[in-house]
Structure 1
Amino acid sequence: MELTVGPNQFFWSADRWSTSYAELVQSPVDRVVLGEVVCSKRLPFYQDRIPEAVSILAEAGKQVALSSLALVTLKRERKQTADLAEMGVEVEINDLTALSYLPENTPFFVGPLVNVYNEGTLGWLAARGATRVCLPPELPLDSVTTLARRGNELGVVIEVWGHGRLPLAISGRCYHARMHGRTKDNCQFACEDDVDGLDVRTMEDQPFLAMNGVQTLSDSYACAAYQVEDLRNAGVKALRLSPQSQGFSQLCAMYRQLLDGQIKPADIATFSKQGDAPVRLSDGFLTGARGVDWSGEDAGQ
């Protein structure tokens, strides 16, 4: 089973952004998706770093793709999306409008924000040129199995969300800006202080969601460590790991060790919960009654 690093969901400084991808050069991952998926206002801060990141990762033997935005609304965003097709790198679409800018028969990836819930949608995307699909993270294991089987028949690689806060929704409004009493157009990049998203709690002070500019994320960090064998048996070919600010390169190495049978799922769970702030893990969308459920509880994790 392969490992894919998805696009960074958060707003990091250009230096932090570059450093994180430089560290992946030595990481045992097979594929890295670069670019902006959440907010186009962030892109100019690190856009000039992307070619170098593409170069060093490709030289290290990684397959590289560029991500489209999840929500394209402005003229400049349409131009940015069109420019992706001219970069000479495979494109991962997270909004179907991106297909209008890809020449026919051009291979492309499909990100987890596109609703690929059934075999008909998967077949249509395959006919359009999709070679790899990361399924939406809310699908149960039975649906994943059905789509992985169909993907194998179509020659489309199926991957699933392996680790990281789950992308739940994208809005036309910026929650971070609103919280600081600002408009979206004058946000002053309020999201930059929350490098892994801002925790949202209920009125009863219970953990609920995470805020990331215009994006809503899960409070818990999805972790498929305990489901690796079931996913492998289902025909899933890759796990997707979502960048986080602390310990990400080590996390990637541990997932490689897990896939190779060198460590146990509990080792990843223990590592993930280390750090300054407590982290909740979940895998309930795959097997539980609720997305927030966690298989590791049975193992004391």
Structure 2
Amino acid sequence: MNVPDLKITMGPVPFLWSGERWRDFYFGIADCEHIEAVTLGEVVCSKRDHFTRPFLPEVLDRLIASGKSVALASLALVTLEREIQLTRRLASEDHMAEANDLSALSLLAGKPHLVGPFVNVYNGATARMLARHGATRICLGPELPLEVVGAIVAGAPELEYEVIAFGRLPLAISARCAHARAKGFSKDNCQFVCGEEPDGLDVDTLDGQAFLTVNGVQTMSRHCQVLLADLDLLARAGVTHLRLSPQDCDMVAVAALYAAVRDGNLSPGEAVAQLARIYPQVPFANGFAHGRAGLEWVAA
């Protein structure tokens, strides 16, 4: 497999990490030669923003100095006045922004911006409309089969397209916090208990089947999306960027594996085997990309 035109990007940290850990993580990404673009910022819960906000200027400076293309992501759900203000501030800044909510799209209309995976883009007509309003790249929703991805790209080929190629998938955002409730707290008095699980809180069905992962107000897949064996199919569908979603593992090593497969220096099978050692005890899946149930694994 040799698809060098695919660019590797790093997405926002979805979990609550300490500000220092968040800063050091992106410092490491700045030094990673395989990653060309980075999107960062608080997407899940506005209450977490104060953990990372003090470190944002130095992280931005470090990433930009390393030659990365950087964008700041908006919240995926805007319901409170402080969240409205955060979104307005994001739209007014000089940095490239990624819209993950329709309110952000409205504020960014007319200036170049990215569109994140929380905005539903299911056809070429929607992609063309977003392009007319300033979108330059769309990170498509993780549930889309590659056949649909190809149809969207064909309907709006002027845009760049990104897919989540690694990480637990974002499935839903709620106004309530199941993570806090599971630990006996309310959302308003959550005590930031989501920080106790740096990779999310796993949820099983009543009969013990691995099911989902809760991350604050977000519901994520229990399985980790791994598209190492599908890079040629992604390139044929017109995808230009592979997004790696930060998980509680060595993400620089993950990026190196994706680059090695992309460049034809490592087989997908061997890369998956190495990835299982980097990110153990988490099941892998690629079902959505193949039009199957998201938790399924479709062999190359």
Same fold (TM over 0.5): yes
Mapped partners of 2:279, 2:129: distance in 1: 45
Mapped partners of 1:52, 1:254: distance in 2: 28
Mapped partners of 2:294, 2:182: distance in 1: 27
Per-residue deviation, residues 171-193 of structure 1 (Å, max 9, x unmatched): 01001111111110000001001
- TM-score where L is the length of structure 1: 0.95
User: What residue in structure 2 maps to residue 106 of structure 1?
Assistant: 111
User: What residue in structure 2 maps to residue 120 of structure 1?
Assistant: 125
Matched, 1:35 2:41: yes
Alignment partner of 1:74 out of 56, 68, 80: 80
Alignment partner of 2:57 out of 41, 45, 51: 51
Residues 124 and 153, structure 2, Cα contact 8 Å, conserved in 1: no
Per-residue deviation, residues 64-117 of structure 1 (Å, max 9, x unmatched): 000000000000110000101233110000001112322x42000000111000
Mapped partners of 1:23, 1:233: distance in 2: 31
Report SS of the residue matched to 2:93.
Answer: coil
Displacement after TM superposition at 1:279 (Å)? 1.2
User: What residue in structure 1 maps to residue 229 of structure 2?
Assistant: 226
User: What residue in structure 2 maps to residue 131 of structure 1?
Assistant: 136
Report SS of the residue matched to 1:85.
Answer: helix
Q: After the TM superposition, which segments of 4 or more aligned residues of structure 1 sit over 6 Å from their partners?
A: none
Relative distance call for 1:228 and 1:276 in structure 2 (3 A) is closer
Displacement after TM superposition at 1:16 (Å)? 0.8
Mapped partners of 1:257, 1:250: distance in 2: 11
Mapped partners of 1:165, 1:64: distance in 2: 22
Counterparts of 1:140-159 in structure 2, within 5 Å, are: 140-152=145-157, 155-159=158-162
Report SS of the residue matched to 1:76.
Answer: helix
Mapped partners of 2:230, 2:209: distance in 1: 27
Matched, 1:169 2:172: yes
Report SS of the residue matched to 1:191.
Answer: helix
Mapped partners of 1:173, 1:268: distance in 2: 38
Relative distance call for 1:275 and 1:17 in structure 2 (3 A) is same
Matched, 1:5 2:2: no
Mapped partners of 1:56, 1:126: distance in 2: 30
Report SS of the residue matched to 2:233.
Answer: helix
The one-letter code of the counterpart of 2:55 is R
Per-residue deviation, residues 218-254 of structure 1 (Å, max 9, x unmatched): 0000011111101111111111100012111110111
Report SS of the residue matched to 2:172.
Answer: strand
Relative distance call for 1:244 and 1:276 in structure 2 (3 A) is closer
User: What residue in structure 1 maps to residue 3 of structure 2?
Assistant: none
User: What residue in structure 1 maps to residue 209 of structure 2?
Assistant: 206
The one-letter code of the counterpart of 1:98 is A
Counterparts of 1:254-273 in structure 2, within 5 Å, are: 254-273=257-276
Mapped partners of 2:298, 2:279: distance in 1: 23
Unaligned runs of 5+ in 2: 1-5
Identity of aligned residues (%): 45
Displacement after TM superposition at 1:276 (Å)? 7.9
The one-letter code of the counterpart of 2:104 is A
Matched, 1:188 2:194: no
Mapped partners of 1:134, 1:238: distance in 2: 8
Displacement after TM superposition at 1:275 (Å)? 5.5
Residues 204 and 211, structure 2, Cα contact 8 Å, conserved in 1: yes
User: What residue in structure 2 maps to residue 88 of structure 1?
Assistant: 94
Count of residues in Structure 1 that have an aligned counterpart in Structure 2: 294
Report SS of the residue matched to 1:177.
Answer: helix
Mean CA deviation greater in 171-180 or 259-268? 259-268
Report SS of the residue matched to 2:82.
Answer: helix
Report SS of the residue matched to 2:46.
Answer: coil
User: What residue in structure 2 maps to residue 63 of structure 1?
Assistant: 69
Mapped partners of 2:276, 2:39: distance in 1: 25
Report SS of the residue matched to 1:145.
Answer: helix
Relative distance call for 1:275 and 1:29 in structure 2 (3 A) is closer
Displacement after TM superposition at 1:265 (Å)? 1.3
Displacement after TM superposition at 1:295 (Å)? 2.1
Mapped partners of 1:253, 1:79: distance in 2: 38
